[in-house]
């Protein structure tokens, strides 16, 4: 189980029960429908403990009974599945040109997915937090009107995030030292649930590992797109954070010292070569004819349309972008030896034209034979970072802590 929080360490009988509750919940999530006897046999917990824990989870409506098994030798067993109908978790994502909200239930089913075009980089952090709070209140209103209790929310930011939920630097937004978690809590008037903040890359990787095509993969990297490029890294089944939580910041990896100037002031950074504004500027030189771009989605759709029509300039530019992606992935493959690297956001949208060149570059430049077994593919998830934020917001319950009954 991956979490953006520290998992509880059993130190007394209460903590042991919490840990055992987490084991039961995880087993039901992964193996439902399953019986109490199945849980006991597979987890090593004794039957009496499992029966007590399951009763508790049913009372909290985290688990429900669904019926009897068929074709079973001996006495039929009552089967269990996740319930969680009274609950919801929220994930939010701040982008350079958008705000995104996702709500899911305990089983990961989406309850809502919203996108609002919003120029966060232009209006600054104060106005962005005001708009984010408005979107959050609307989402809370939607799920509570369904009779659900919000268990928590997590915000994804395209920048560095410290353990307190503050953003020391988000170059794409022009932010420095913004206390995102504290500001959102204040705007929501100190809500009764946890408010977390993480990088969009980490949250997208969490979503990919839980809900994507490669769900369950122990060693996975998700490359987020947008104005910057971040690497969310799952290593041995856990998010790789580094000493201060800043791991995965590869936007400013220099691939071409003579390349274009980057927002950071350097040249030839990955973001300046394959970030969405860089790709749009190269392939659609007329994109800013009517003024600065405030929403990149229509421009991305134009690029896709031109590529489908076989426009030679666009196809050539996408192939070069793919080669740059492949060079970066080759470095990741050599450093981390992941089983798969997944492209997200605009890189996923453009993947049909990026992947051939990127895979060739990966094969040619990685040191290990066959790129160390690393696959390069596109994500199939929409709003992955917001989905990962909602998934992360379930961490407390998934770690065995019971929600407050309402």
pLDDT score for 85: 84
pTM exceeds 0.85 for this model: yes
Cα 321 from Cα 20, distance rounded (Å):
48
Tell me the DSSP string of 64-82: EEEEE-SS-SSS--EEEEE
Residue 72 has a pLDDT of 59
What's the Cα-to-Cα distance from 293 to each of 114, 118, 313, 346, rounded to whole Å? 21, 11, 21, 16
Which residues of the chain have a pLDDT value below 50? 1-11
Q: What is the pLDDT of residue 146?
A: 93
The pLDDT assigned to 13 comes to 54
Q: What is the pLDDT of residue 4?
A: 46
| DSSP states of 91-139 | EEEE-SSEEEEEEE-TT--EEEEEEEE--HHHH-HHHHHHHHHHHHHHH
Cα–Cα distance, 217 to 223 (Å, whole number): 15
For residue 148, what are its two tokens?
């659900």
CA 369 to chain centre: 30
Give phi and psi for 62, each to the nearest 5: -95, -25
Identify the pLDDT of residue 12. Answer: 54
């Amino acid at each position: 189980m991956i979490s953006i929080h520290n998992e509880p360490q059993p130190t007394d009988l209460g903590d042991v029960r919490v840990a055992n509750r987490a084991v039961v919940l995880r087993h039901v999530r992964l193996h439902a429908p399953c019986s109490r006897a199945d849980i006991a046999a597979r987890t090593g917990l004794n039957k009496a403990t499992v029966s007590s824990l399951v009763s508790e989870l049913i009372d909290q409506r985290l688990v429900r009974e669904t019926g009897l098994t068929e074709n079973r030798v001996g006495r039929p067993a009552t089967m269990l599945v996740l319930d969680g109908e009274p609950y919801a978790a929220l994930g939010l994502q701040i982008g350079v040109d958008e705000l995104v909200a996702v709500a899911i239930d305990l089983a990961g089913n989406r309850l809502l997915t919203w996108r609002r075009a919003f120029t966060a980089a232009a209006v600054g952090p104060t106005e962005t937090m005001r708009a984010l709070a408005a979107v959050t209140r609307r989402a809370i209103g939607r799920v509570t009107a369904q009779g659900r209790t919000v268990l928590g929310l997590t915000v994804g930011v395209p920048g560095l995030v410290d353990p307190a939920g503050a953003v020391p630097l988000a170059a794409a937004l022009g932010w420095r030292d913004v206390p995102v978690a504290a500001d959102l809590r204040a705007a929501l008037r100190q809500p009764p649930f946890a408010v977390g903040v993480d990088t969009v890359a980490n949250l997208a990787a969490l979503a990919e590992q839980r809900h994507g095509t490669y769900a369950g993969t122990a060693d996975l990297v998700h490359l987020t797109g947008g104005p910057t490029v971040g690497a969310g890294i799952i290593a041995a089944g856990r998010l790789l954070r580094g000493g201060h939580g800043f791991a995965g910041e590869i936007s400013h990896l220099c691939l071409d010292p003579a390349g274009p100037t980057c927002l950071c002031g350097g040249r030839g950074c990955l973001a300046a070569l394959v970030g969405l504004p860089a790709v749009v500027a190269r392939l659609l030189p007329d994109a800013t004819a009517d003024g600065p771009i405030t929403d990149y989605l229509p421009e991305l759709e134009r690029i896709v349309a031109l590529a489908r029509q076989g426009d030679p300039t666009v196809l050539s530019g996408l192939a070069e972008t793919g080669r740059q992606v492949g060079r970066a992935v080759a470095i990741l493959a050599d450093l981390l030896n992941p089983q798969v690297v997944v492209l997200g956001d605009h890189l996923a949208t453009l993947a049909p034209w990026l992947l051939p060149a990127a895979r060739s570059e990966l094969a040619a430049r990685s040191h290990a034979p066959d790129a160390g077994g690393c696959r390069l593919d596109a994500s199939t998830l929409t709003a992955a970072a917001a989905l990962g934020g909602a998934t992360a917001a379930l961490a407390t319950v998934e770690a065995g802590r019971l929600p407050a009954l309402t």
